[in-house]
Amino acid sequence: MAPVREGQSSFRQLKSVSPSLVERLVAEYRAGDSVYELQQRHGVHRNTIAKHLRDHGLQLGRQPLSTAEVHRAHELHAEGLSLNAIGRKMGRDPKTVKAVLG
């Protein structure tokens, strides 16, 4: 941790998040952006973003594959693609793909 300069607080100032930004964060998260992507794009700490998302009733973290994604994973597997290739193509972890292909 960098030394505290004279006249500087040892705590960072919290960035105020406007209601319109919160709505945008919620919409972008629902569209599939991760908390880390939102952090980079908007310059708001990930913990602040996570708090606002949870306050809007959203569950954080990767969600299980949807029914459509499961069908797509089976199609790609039938075409001979590896778990890694399917994961890259779908933007999912290969272990998640393996779990549904069982």
Q: How many residues does the chain have?
A: 102
As a whole number, mean pLDDT of residues 74-90 equals 95
Domain boundaries, position 78: 67-101
Q: What is the pLDDT of residue 59?
A: 87
pTM above 0.85, yes or no: no
Domain membership flag for residue 89: yes
29 & 51 share domain: yes
* Count of beta carbons in the 10 Å neighbourhood of residue 85: 15
47 neighbors 14 (Cβ within 8 angstroms): no
**pLDDT > 60? residue 9:** no
Calculate the alpha carbon distances from 91 to 9, 37, 84 in Å: 41, 14, 10
Cα-to-chain-centroid distance, residue 91: 12
pLDDT in tens, 19-72: 999 999 999 988 878 898 899 999 999 999 999 999 999 989 877 888 999 999
Structurally, the chain folds into a number of domains equal to: 2
Domain membership flag for residue 48: yes
